[in-house]
Amino acid sequence: MSQNFKILFFLKKGHNTNENFIPIYARVTINGARTEWSIQRKCDPKK
């Protein structure tokens, strides 16, 4: 019984976001089923 597990952290800019800092999201994928959520942190996209 083998399972495939992946985790990805990414910046997600909203449609009306004009801020200098953009929220960081995490996406977890297990066997093709994925879910994502905000980790309640923000980052400068230039970094």
> In DSSP terms, which residues pair with 45 in a beta bridge?
none
When divided into structural domains, the chain yields a total of 1
What is the chain written as a DSSP string?
Answer: ----EEEEEEE---TT---SSEEEEEEEEETTEEEEEEEEEEE-TT-
The reported pLDDT for the residue numbered 27 is 97
Q: Which residue has the tokens 């995490």?
A: 26
> In DSSP terms, which residues pair with 25 in a beta bridge?
10, 38
Could you read off the pLDDT of 12-37 as tens digits, one per residue? 887 666 678 899 999 999 999 999 99
Residue 20 is part of which domain span? 5-43
Dihedral angle at the C-alpha atoms of 29, 35, 38, 39, nearest 10 degrees?
Answer: -40
